[in-house]
Amino acid sequence: MGILHDDVVIINQAEKEGEPSVITVNCPDKAGLGCDLCRVFLFFGLNIVRGDVTAVLCELELTIKKVKVSTTPDGKGLLHTNKRKEDASDHLKNAIWSAMISCDIEMVGPEIAACSAESSFLPTAITEDLIPLEIPDELPSSLTSTSVFIAMDNSLSPGHTLVQIACQDHKGLLFDIMRTLKDYSIQISYGRFTVKQRRKCEVDLFIVQTDGKKIVDPCKQKSLSSRLEMELLHPLRVAVVSRGPDTDTELLVANPVELNSKGRPLVFHDITLALKMLNTGIFWAKIRRRMIGDREFEVYRVLLDEGEGLSVPRSKIEEEVWRMLMGWE
C-alpha cells in the first residue's frame, strides 16, 4: 500500500467538490477486519464508492443489548455518582434544548424490573412473517433491493477463490458483504469495489478459508452464495403492524447481528429521521436482541403516536423507513 509503518490511517481530502476522498488504512490482517472497518465507516455516515481491500482496522467498543425509550423509561442502570447523573442530564439538555420538559435519573425499582422481564419479545406470527430464514419466492418490490448476481471461480488464481458480485448499491453494502464473510470465517486477500451508474455495484473478492485454502466444496460454495444473496437482497426487515386491542400502529425493524454480537450502526437514528420527515411521532420505542432460529437479530419496536389518527399510510411508513435505512432517501 506504499506505507512503511504499521497501524496507519491517511485521509486525503477530495481536490474538487463532489469528488470522493481517499482513506488509506494499513494494519495487521485477521479474519473479520473488513467487516469491522466497514462498520466504522457506516457509523460515521461514510459511503464507499470505490475501494481496494488489503487491510482493515478498528472495532467499536459499545454494544446495545436492550433499550427501552418512553415517557416512563425502565431497564436503566443507576449512574454511580451524582456528577455522572449531572453530566448525562446536561448532554441530553444540550441535544434536545427546549423540547425537554424534565430529566430524572434514578435506580430502577424491583416492580419495574419485573414488568420488563418479558418471556417472549415478538409474537410467533409476526416473527415468522418479519424474519424469513430463507429467501421467499417474491419480496415486496418497495422493501427489497434489485437482483443480485453472485459467481465463484477457482480457476483464475492458484491460491484463492474469486467471488464476483453485481448488485444495487445501498448504505452499508460492503458492511453486509464483510459481516457475512466474517460469519463464515472467510478471509479476503484482495478485493475491488466500484459503483457505476444508477447505483450499480461490482465487487471482486479473492478469498480463502482460515486454513489458507480455497473453497472447493460445492456445498460450502452454495451455502455462502445463498447467504450473500439473502443479505444483499434484504439486509434489514421492515414491517408496520397492528398492536393490541386498540389496533395501535407499531413499526418493526430487524437486522441480523454478527456472531461476535456486534449490530448494525445508526439503525435507530435512521428510523427516527425517517419518521421525523413523515411528521410521525413516537409514543415509545424498544430495542432488544432476540434469537430467531439459529441467528441473533436486533429488533426495534416503535409504537407510533397516532394522536388524532395516523395520517400517513402504513405502506408509506414502511417504504420511507426502508429507503432511509438503505440510503435511498
pLDDT tens over the chain, length 329 residues: 344 445 677 777 877 777 777 777 777 766 667 777 777 777 777 766 555 543 332 232 334 445 554 433 444 444 455 666 677 777 767 766 666 667 766 665 555 444 444 434 454 434 554 444 343 444 455 556 668 999 999 998 899 999 999 999 888 888 899 899 988 999 988 888 888 877 788 999 999 998 989 999 999 999 999 999 989 988 888 988 887 666 788 999 998 888 878 888 889 889 998 998 998 888 888 888 888 778 889 999 998 887 666 678 888 999 999 999 998 86
Task: Name which of 150, 157, 135 is nearest 216 in CA terms.
Answer: 157
H or E element in which residue 37 lies: helix 33-43
241 and 143 Cβ atoms separated by less than 8 Å: no
Lookup: cell for 55:
487491510
What confidence score (pLDDT) does residue 122 get? 54
CA distance 279 to 68: 22
The reported pLDDT for the residue numbered 290 is: 86
pLDDT at 117: 43
pLDDT of residue 57: 25
Q: Give residue 165's pLDDT.
A: 94
SS3 160: coil
pLDDT at residue 84, as a whole number = 66
Task: For each of the domains in the chain, give its residue range(s) and CATH number, in order of start.
Answer: 8-61+145-233 (no CATH), 62-75+125-137+235-329 (3.30.1360), 77-115 (no CATH)
What pLDDT is recorded for position 7? 66
Tell me, what's the pLDDT at 149? 93
Burial class (CB within 10 angstroms; exposed 0-12, middle 13-18, buried 19+) of 156? exposed
Separation between Cα atoms, residue 18 and residue 235, nearest integer Å: 28
Closest CA to 271 of 315, 328, 320: 320
What local confidence, expressed as pLDDT, does residue 78 receive? 43
Q: How far apart are CA 188 and CA 33, in angstroms?
A: 9
